[in-house]
Amino acid sequence: MENPLTVAQSAALFDILSHHNTYGEIQDFKLPGRLEHYGPPFNAEPKALSTSPALQGLVSKFATTLPGLKDVPEEFWKVQTKEMIEALEVANLSESYDKGAIGSRKTLATAVSALLEYPVRGTAGGFPKIQDPNHEYDLTEAGDLIRAFRNFMDGVIYGNLLEELVKKTAETDNIAEHNTLTQALHEFILVK
């Protein structure tokens, strides 16, 4: 009988696999023509599987629904954005270790995958609802800063916290005038 993975081991495995998959999908763009089988919004082949399901999911679920992008004409994705990505595919970016340094293509792929692997994990793995809206945060306690980040993410995903933050930021840019959640989130981001 096999020993099942612990919760911590499962989470670590999920992190490793999502990182590997995201990096692989981004690195595949070194092969010209990858967008032909990418899926919406770059093309719409009925019932065709995407060659980049994690990235395609992010674009379809989030980028195409953002204010300013949700109403752009179809040509924006199928022509302008596609041409820009295809230009990067065929660009003469070094992939080898030039003069003891990592090549441009590997550096770019690593940076982009580091940014995108967290939303990919959130999309694939979900985000448990743990909101604690009445908590007062101590800005000197690491646990409160972590709790603030989790509660902020929960409020953005399941509520309208991002809209509230934008509205308050339009009223004042003084962080001391924001609620303790925003102040603790600010501290968390500075520390991270």
Query: By 3-state DSSP, what share of the chain in percent is helix, strand and coil, each rounded to 5?
Result: 65, 0, 35
Per-residue model confidence (pLDDT) at position 122: 78
DSSP state of 133: T
Per-residue model confidence (pLDDT) at position 74: 82
- Per-residue pLDDT reduced to its tens digit, 102-139: 666 677 777 777 788 888 887 787 766 666 667 788 88
pLDDT at 69 over 70: yes
The pair of three-digit structure tokens given for residue 37, joined into one six-digit string? 């089988």
Report helix, strand or coil for 85. helix
In one-letter notation, the amino acid at residue 24 is: G
Per-residue model confidence (pLDDT) at position 103: 67
pTM metric for this prediction: 0.58
Q: CA 97, CA 99: separation in Å to the nearest integer? A: 6
- Per-residue pLDDT reduced to its tens digit, 84-110: 888 877 766 655 555 666 666 677 777
Q: State the Cα angle at 122 between 132 and 52, rounded to 5°.
A: 165
Report helix, strand or coil for 99. coil
